[in-house]
Structure 1
């Protein structure tokens, strides 16, 4: 079962690419509403691994690694997302109090398509086995993309 979210941003592909690849952007959009992203160590290259975290309003921190298998700047990202502890050691979702049926890892494909001066971004997450968990992920992803739209429209880039 896949989770797919598509959004058209009023920004060129280069800027939308930076939103995925530059820490100063990722800090502003990673995590659902109310969450912050205190860590965004970006290593966006084939074979590279980015380290990102999100902190809930209650102060709970979740750590993820994004390991890239395909990187075509301004066109496509393919990576797997894994959960980790604060030392960046792999952990299962269940060990972190998350639904046990979240895929391990979560495969992602992100595509960037030029639409004039705008960019259509599509994010696909694969491997879900439960409609409830897929829906939870979709809602979180949509909230991240809402925050990305705000970051991309901000005057100070």
Structure 2
């Protein structure tokens, strides 16, 4: 994915608004949205599965489906379509059941941006208070990971590559966000996993440069110490950052993850910064195995997406808190 223009729609207080840009033509994005068999591959937060009972993609038609949570809880849903413009627009009510009314109305706009597709979604609720509560619920349930899973699904269809994608919108200007990712004194405060500290032995953060760092949980009973290094491949301020990471030992010899010996040796991280407003930036992280990868390593990576979501979410929470106190 790549940086996209600021959203043209200014949401109202009772609306939840999001924009994503996908590396796929609009026809493919539309079909993946509207075909139940494809939707079953990505719809819902991480760990959820989907069963479609019936679907009538027409004005007045319904999509009846059940989302199955990882804890076994079922979430029935009846979506009713109000507007359909092929490859351009969907308007539908979301969250109804046989006994309860819809929770909100969804408008999805699809537009071509170069060779990519911009998806702009607005969820309209009855009141601003209802929107605020729904935002909290979506965050707690990991609902935004639906759109990350969609990016992963499209990448697999087009490039036949397995990737991990995660987005977060931060209340900070784009230049500030870029600095948080490219200055060692900032990176070390928020990037390490929850419970760990990070220090740099070397921080030559420039194209062609590299860093060498240490992460530790400082526990006297169950101490975990991890060394790593990163090689910086692309730096396009303030829009894009690409670097390759490897675990290593104290002498900077390549090693493996201390708790996952079959984790891929090299990971490629692509970070995109998208200006959503003058004081708001969306960060999109794409993570993928890089170089020679065995089938076993790729399978370990694919099965670890839930854990990766938790890890990046913890780091993003720390970054958000750091921005609030800056």
Q: Which has the higher contact order (CA 8 A, sep 6+)?
A: 1
Q: Per the alignment, do residues 124 and 141 of structure 1 end up closer, same or farther by CA in structure 2, a change over 3 Å counting?
A: farther
User: Structure 2-normalised TM-score?
Assistant: 0.41
Query: Residue in 1 aligned with 2:137?
Result: 136
- Asked if the contact 1:67/1:79 (under 8 Å) is kept, the reply is yes
2:52–2:63 Cα contact (<8 Å) kept: no
1:75–1:145 CA distance, 2 compared to 1 (3 A): same
How far does residue 140 in structure 1 lie from its aligned partner after superposition?
Answer: 4.2
Q: 1:55 to 1:68 in 2, by over 3 A?
A: same
After TM superposition, list the pairs within 5 Å mapping 1:143-154 onto structure 2.
143-154=145-156
Work out whether residues 50 and 67 of structure 1, in 8 Å CA contact, stay in contact via their aligned partners in 2. Answer: yes
Specify the SS of the correspondent of 2:37: helix
1:87-139 alpha-carbon deviations (Å, 9 max, x no partner): xx2336xxxxxxxxxxx441000000101110000111111524232232367
Distance 1:22 1:10, change over 3 A: same
Which of 114, 117, 124 is residue 115 of structure 2 equivalent to?
A: 117
Equivalent in the alignment of 2:63: 50
1:6-61 CA-to-partner distances (Å, cap 9, x unmatched) read: 10000000011012100122101221111111226332211111112211111111
Structure 1: 4+ residue segments shifted above 2 A: 38-42, 132-141
Instruction: Give the alignment's TM-score, normalised by structure 1.
Output: 0.81
- For the 8 Å contact 1:16–1:119, the answer to whether it is kept is yes
- The aligned length equals 142
Q: Verify: 1:30 aligned to 2:28, yes or no.
A: no
Q: 1:140 to 1:124 in 2, by over 3 A?
A: farther
- After superposition, the Cα gap between the structure-2 partners of 1:40 and 1:8, relative to the gap in structure 1 and judged at 3 Å, is farther
Aligned-partner Cα distance in 1 for 2:42–2:50: 7
Q: After alignment, is 2-11 or 133-142 more displaced?
A: 133-142
Structure 1 counterpart SS, 2:58: coil
Q: RMSD across aligned C-alpha pairs, in angstroms?
A: 2.1
Cα 1:61–1:149 change in 2 (3 A) is same
Q: How does 1:80-95 map to 2 (within 5 A)?
A: 80-84=93-97, 89-91=98-100
Task: Please tell me whether the aligned partners of residues 32 and 141 of structure 1 are also in contact (alpha carbons under 8 angstroms).
Answer: yes
The separation in 1 between residues aligned to 2:18 and 2:138, in whole angstroms, is: 10
Number of the residue aligned with 2:106: 108
**Tell me, which stretches of 5 or more residues in structure 1 are unaligned?**
93-103
Structure label with greater radius of gyration:
2
